[in-house]
Amino acid sequence: MRLETENARTDIDLAAGGRLASFVVDGRELLVTSDPSTFNWGCYAMVPFAGRLRDGRFAYAGRTWQMPLNMPPHAMH
């Protein structure tokens, strides 16, 4: 799957779990795009957040958001 704008393009490898397989900005590739190891190329978008959210809460735009506590007492990506 490819997403593209005038100055940027990203290729998403759906067969590899939605991995960003390529990310090109202004003609320059920003990712390692191949490697024999599945761990050494591309990247995964950590959305809606990366890592741990203390108590599963964060504030944005004047509002507090509560995420599911999937690793109590915190929320993990």
| N-to-C CA span, the chain | 23
Q: What is the pLDDT along the chain (77 residues), one digit of tens a residue?
A: 999 999 999 999 998 888 999 999 999 999 999 888 888 999 988 877 788 899 999 999 999 999 999 999 999 87
Q: Which residues contact 6 (CB under 8 A, 6 or more apart)?
A: none
Secondary structure of residue 45 in the 3-state scheme: coil
- Report whether 8 contacts 24 (CB < 8 A): yes
pLDDT at 73: 95
pLDDT at 61: 93
pLDDT at 24: 98
pLDDT at 31: 95
C-alpha separations of 39 from 5, 26, 67 in Å: 28, 26, 28
